[in-house]
């Protein structure tokens, strides 16, 4: 089996350094080469880039037929031609890319990993990133970094094959720590092993989201979406809720995001039961951190479902005291919850109107019965990830979800 790793992102986000680190991390026996896509020097960019792209694909096909256990690490690729023409003032469209996808999908002994590095003005300021002396175009400036990053995220998310690793540079204390996480993924990718997401610490290193950037827009990138605050949850004082009591809940003190992901036009909506009391609830993101959440995140990566295509939320939006679910197991109690009757109902209704093709996935029986109660019957009902952990069938979860989702 051969492997192709393609690293994309805006200027000055650390692509070349990452490529060099990948090469340095390889075993001595690993045969590899670095492919660097450079800007052409002629005027007819469409013709030149099209020629380069076809040469690139032909080279990969040649590797497929004549090599084994070979690695290509690509510092940029033809994907950039789906991003940059509009910013360079070029009038052409890279209409040849779909044909290239078709050719690459035919290769049965090559595995692809597309890495997208996201940065914006916050990234530029945080890591003191400076444009190089020869980078004088407007799209090469820090002000455009977020826009270019978003375009790359969209392009990578829509590649119809291969694993996608989307990285938000803002979620790391340094670019060095960011690269260390990426190398973890790559080690599993090259060994053809399932990436079992390790138990994350109280940070957001294994997701593109954070409390400050909790939703994704295909137009505007990573954004902060204010929480849909419950009528009883003023300043997260949930003691007034007649059903739920969380007065001693440390998670209730966190600015908790009621949902995470593509709020505007998701391909998948995953609805669970309740935020974790001491796990995801303390991080402030649904479906992140605890054992069930880490299994869920690993599943998305293995099934090649980008986080930019998903919206993740829960039936009940408050983290529960002692993780007790009994108070709302009864349908009668759930009907009284503002987060179910108002927030969740309106959220899902709006999504189904905007994107009727969206797959709504209930994770567990509580989510299933709630969605049916609200009138959402065209749903995919699945076992909760925790069931696979409790029954010792963790490794079966990926195959199970692949079948349920039809991917």
Give dist(CA 220, CA 11) in Å, integer. Answer: 18
Give residue limits of the domains in the chain. 2-190, 215-405
Q: Which residue has the tokens 């991080």?
A: 283
Q: Give the pair of three-digit tokens for residue 321.
A: 């005291």
Q: What is the CATH number of domain 2-190?
A: 3.40.50.300
257-298 per-position pLDDT tens digit: 778 999 889 999 999 988 766 655 567 788 988 889 999 999
Q: Considering the chain, what percentage of its residues have pLDDT values greater than 70?
A: 85
Neighbours of 109 (CB within 10 A): 12
Between 396-405 and 291-302, two packed helices, what is the crossing angle to 10 degrees?
Answer: 60
Q: Which residue has the tokens 């939320």?
A: 313
Q: How many Å from the N-terminal Cα to the C-terminal Cα in the chain?
A: 22
Q: Which of 63-67, 158-162, 286-290 has the lowest mean pLDDT?
A: 63-67
Q: Give the pair of three-digit tokens for residue 1.
A: 């089996």
Give dist(CA 349, CA 199) in Å, integer. Answer: 33
Query: What is the helix (H) or strand (E) element at residue 121, kind and residue range?
Result: helix 121-126
224-251 per-position pLDDT tens digit: 887 655 555 544 444 455 555 444 444 4
Residue 100: pLDDT over 70: yes
Give dist(CA 297, CA 312) in Å, integer. Answer: 11
* H-state helical runs in 326-407: 326-329, 331-336, 338, 345-354, 365-373, 385-390, 396-405
pTM, 2 dp: 0.91
Residue 391 binned pLDDT confidence (cut-offs 50, 70, 90): very high
- DSSP of 117-145, one letter per residue? EE--HHHHHHTT----TT--SGGGSGGGH
Give dist(CA 92, CA 82) in Å, integer. Answer: 10
The whole-number pLDDT of residue 335 equals 73
Give dist(CA 350, CA 384) in Å, integer. Answer: 25
Sign of CA dihedral 256, 404, 353, 220: positive
The whole-number pLDDT of residue 237 equals 46
Q: Does 215-405 carry CATH code 3.40.50.720?
A: no
């Amino acid at each position: 089996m051969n492997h192709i790793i393609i690293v994309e992102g805006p200027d000055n986000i650390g692509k070349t350094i990452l490529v060099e680190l990948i090469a340095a991390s390889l075993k001595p026996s690993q045969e590899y080469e670095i492919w660097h896509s450079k800007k052409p020097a002629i005027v007819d960019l469409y013709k030149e880039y099209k020629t380069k792209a076809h040469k690139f694909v032909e080279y990969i096909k040649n590797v497929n037929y004549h090599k084994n256990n070979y690695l290509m690490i690509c510092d940029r690729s033809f994907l950039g031609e789906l991003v940059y023409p509009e910013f360079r003032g070029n009038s052409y469209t890279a209409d040849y890319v779909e044909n290239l996808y078709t050719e690459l999908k035919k290769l049965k002994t090559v595995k692809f990993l597309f890495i997208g590095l996201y940065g914006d003005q916050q990234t530029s300021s945080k890591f003191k990133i400076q444009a190089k002396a020869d980078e004088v175009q407007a799209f090469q400036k820090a002000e455009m970094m977020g826009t270019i990053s978003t375009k790359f995220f969209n392009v990578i998310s829509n590649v119809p094959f291969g694993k996608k690793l989307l990285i938000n540079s803002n979620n790391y204390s340094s670019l060095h720590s960011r690269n260390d996480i990426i190398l973890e993924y790559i080690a599993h990718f090259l060994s053809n092993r399932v990436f079992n997401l390790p138990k994350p610490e109280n940070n957001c290193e294994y997701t593109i989201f954070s409390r400050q950037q909790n939703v994704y827009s295909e137009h505007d990138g990573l954004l902060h979406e204010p929480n849909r605050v419950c009528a009883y949850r003023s300043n997260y004082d949930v003691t007034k809720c007649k059903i739920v009591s969380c007065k001693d809940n440390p998670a209730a003190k966190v600015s908790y995001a009621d949902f995470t992901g593509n709020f505007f036009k998701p391909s998948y909506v995953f609805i669970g039961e309740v935020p974790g009391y001491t796990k995801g609830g303390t991080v402030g993101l649904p479906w992140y951190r605890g054992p069930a959440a880490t299994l869920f995140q690993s599943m998305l990566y293995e099934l090649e479902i980008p986080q930019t295509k998903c919206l993740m939320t829960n039936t009940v939006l408050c983290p529960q005291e002692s993780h007790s679910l009994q108070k709302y197991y009864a349908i009668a109690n759930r009907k009284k919850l503002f987060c179910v009757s108002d927030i969740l109902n309106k959220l899902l209704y709006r999504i189904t109107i905007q994107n009727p093709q969206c797959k709504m996935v209930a994770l567990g029986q509580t989510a299933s019965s709630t969605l049916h109660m609200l009138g959402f019957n065209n749903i995919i009902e699945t076992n909760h990830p925790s069931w696979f952990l409790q029954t010792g069938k963790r490794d079966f979860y990926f195959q199970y979800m692949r079948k349920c989702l039809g991917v």
